[in-house]
Structure 1
């Protein structure tokens, strides 16, 4: 199998054979790459998007064993319907990737209004709680499973103009630890903290000055979605079976002090 960027499947192909995953916000970027990495390891995958059409397009791009489902991350009825669809279609739900995210609150924190704050927190923090609750109560609580939350190195640092987003990701990192405590030993809960990655959501951080960002990154480039997808698949699989409550930083070294964040 090939991933969306055209590369071949990992040597870990088959590591998730027989398992079923749901990836929210997976029509492009990190979510799509995570779904591809899970698929490459043998999992059957349900990808979601706010638009049922975009979810289907992503599933078609990923190929056999992947289904698309239209579900806004904060819509409880749609989320429940997606979990029900997964169980009815595949009979189980082993992996949940809470990837959907948003950042409408750009600028100084004191200049933000409640609507933008609430939207950021609803999508970036409440949605992972909602989907995890549904997955645990429907399957994982009895049978076990793994949850991976998409945080950000912004949750471990501060920067101008993205403060509300960073606060939401810092809260998600703490939520990851809390859920790991509450849901063990049946369910493992971990997070990833990507640095600057070539995605539409992060365009403002790299599009006009990619060379400068790359030069300030110890590993010499910005991230690609596949870099993050591979880490998600690792945390979801048996290789991480004794890891829970952790946040894996994947930033090419940007947090070491030389980066622009």
Structure 2
């Protein structure tokens, strides 16, 4: 029997990047996976590539959309064991004083409000199943912010505070943990740079801040999520795991 056999896992933002790899990893470990993303086409492509999976078009910042996600999961699979709150957006790298308030508001809605909503409507379902947990994807920038990404980093710091406070509120029924990834070569980072491909000079500057001398791989984050949601982490809650190649100690 695989580690996640008979487990039901929701992964938000799973049409690409970290989310797609996490969805695949949970599926390969035996879970039934709900692939949630605003990108309905990408979500369906991810779900269709997995064994037991469905896709649900979801705007994680919208109450009705999140309720639909939770209700659909329960209707299709009978419950929820794990919610991975991975959906997130950056703003374009720039000084905070130049950032459009509308862009900042949208980013906070996707990065922070979304976790409030999925937990508000999902935790009552999680509480019905033993060993359930929430894994929130934050950022090492929450602890080591850079200029140019100030508001984004602040949103991820809010994710860490939300994680720790909620963990205290819902224990011992549900564990709540977070992951702080370092930079990865995904569409997310390209969006922050406003480029289709990260230039080598920019990549080199990023890597020079990381003692392990590479960017994060999506599988690095998936492995961390798989651990935090597993029985091996049954005494871990309110933790914020740095998966950053040592950037936080540099």
Q: TM-score, normalised by structure 2?
A: 0.92
Range with bigger deviation, 107-116 or 157-166? 107-116
* Other-structure match for 1:65: 52
> CA 1:215–1:109 in 2, change beyond 3 Å: closer, same or farther?
closer
* Other-structure match for 1:142: 128
Q: Structure 1 residue 255: deviation in Å?
A: 1.8
Q: TM-score, normalised by structure 1?
A: 0.88
Alignment partner of 2:162 out of 171, 175, 180: 175
Q: What secondary structure is seen at the aligned counterpart in 2 of 1:97? A: strand
Q: What secondary structure is seen at the aligned counterpart in 1 of 2:168? A: helix
Q: Is the 8 A contact 2:96 2:151 kept in 1?
A: yes
Alignment partner of 1:187 out of 174, 179, 204: 174
> CA 1:173–1:23 in 2, change beyond 3 Å: closer, same or farther?
same
- Per-residue CA deviations over 1:169-224 (Å, capped at 9, x if unaligned) read 00100100011011111000000000011211113568213244334422121111
* Other-structure match for 2:198: 207
Q: Is the 8 A contact 1:46 1:68 kept in 2?
A: yes
Structure 2 Cα separation of the partners of residues 125 and 85 of structure 1: 22
Q: Structure 1 residue 163: deviation in Å?
A: 0.3
Alignment pair present for 1:242 and 2:217: no
Q: What secondary structure is seen at the aligned counterpart in 2 of 1:23? A: strand
* Other-structure match for 2:217: 224
Q: Structure 1 residue 141: deviation in Å?
A: 2.6
Instruction: State how many pairs are aligned.
Output: 243
Alignment partner of 2:17 out of 16, 29, 32: 29
Q: Structure 1 residue 251: deviation in Å?
A: 0.9
> CA 1:135–1:223 in 2, change beyond 3 Å: closer, same or farther?
same
- Per-residue CA deviations over 1:92-134 (Å, capped at 9, x if unaligned) read 1000000000112531122223212211111111100100111
